Homo-oligomer: A and B are copies of this chain.
Amino acid sequence: MARAPTTFDSFNAIAEPRRRAIIESLIGKEMTVNQVVETMGWNQPMVSKHLGVLKQVGLVSERKQGRYRVYKVNAAQLKPIQEWVIQFEQYWMNSLDHLENYLNEIQSIEVKDE
């Protein structure tokens, strides 16, 4: 059996970094495909394809306006991911990992300051 399609759910769709980048730049705005193309600096078919995947899982929705298609993010589709991850938060808070990260941060700040 192959891996689940990227069009299957949000978990699979956002596994691809370019799709996360699209979501990041499209959040809170509405954008035409070409505006995404310009923002990202990728070729148009690539943008259309990734938008297509995001659309299939409902992470973006599209509205036709003349010859343009205006896309926007459906943030609600990210909620299940948030809910899945958040149940483990207590296990990374107050942990040795946390302490470790904290110490690393302190250290890197000190290094930066020198």
Give the most central of A6, A74, A88, A98: most B CB within 10 Å: A88
A20 closest partner in B (C-beta): B84
Q: What is the predominant secondary structure among interface residues of chain A facing chain B?
A: helix
Residues of B within 8 A of A20 (CB): 11, 84
Contact across chains for A27 and B88 when beta carbons are under 8 A apart? yes
Q: From residue 59 to 100 of chain A, which have CB atoms closer than 8 A to chain B? A: 73-76, 78-79, 81-82, 84-86, 88-89, 91-92, 95, 97-98
Contact across chains for A3 and B16 when beta carbons are under 8 A apart? yes
Known: A15-B4, A16-B4. A81 touches B81 (CB 8 A): yes
A-B CB contact pairs (8 Å), 21 listed = A3-B6, A4-B15, A11-B14, A11-B17, A12-B15, A15-B15, A28-B91, A73-B88, A73-B91, A75-B91, A75-B95, A75-B97, A76-B95, A76-B97, A76-B98, A76-B101, A78-B85, A78-B88, A82-B82, A82-B86, A82-B89
